[in-house]
Amino acid sequence: MKSNQIIFDVLTKDELKGIISNSIQEVIKKSSVKEKKEEELLTRDEASNLLKINLSTLWRWTKDGKLSAYGIGNRVFYKKDELLKSLIKIENEKK
């Protein structure tokens, strides 16, 4: 049975600092990776490869409002999470 008690061995101040520092760095790493995934931008080529469609279809779906595109200068980007969320479930109809 696990106990909720914390038992400290004799640690120097530097050892304790190191343990705390490592723990904090792990938490920061994990949270920053999650944020990157949510905001990952894809180029037109990457977006079309992800959806397995050609560039003209990607352009048409964007023009029709099925997908949202973002631009900087002449560059066009798509948010990966938005592309994945735009996919709809197809129900099998039995006749």
Domain with residue 51: its CATH number is 1.10.1660.10
User: Residue 62: phi, psi to the nearest 5?
Assistant: -70, -45
What pLDDT shows up at residue 8?
Answer: 63
What pLDDT shows up at residue 73?
Answer: 94
What pLDDT shows up at residue 53?
Answer: 96
Please report whether residue 92 resides in a domain: no
Helices of type H across 39-71: 44-51, 55-63
On whether both 24 and 43 belong to a single domain, the answer is no
27 vs 9, which has greater pLDDT? 27
Domain hosting 34: range is 9-38
Tens of pLDDT, residue by residue over 36-80, are 555 899 999 999 999 999 999 999 999 999 999 999 999 999 999
The pTM assigned to this predicted structure is: 0.56
On whether both 47 and 29 belong to a single domain, the answer is no
4 vs 34, which has greater pLDDT? 4
Count of domains forming the chain: 2
Which amino acid would we find at residue 87?
L
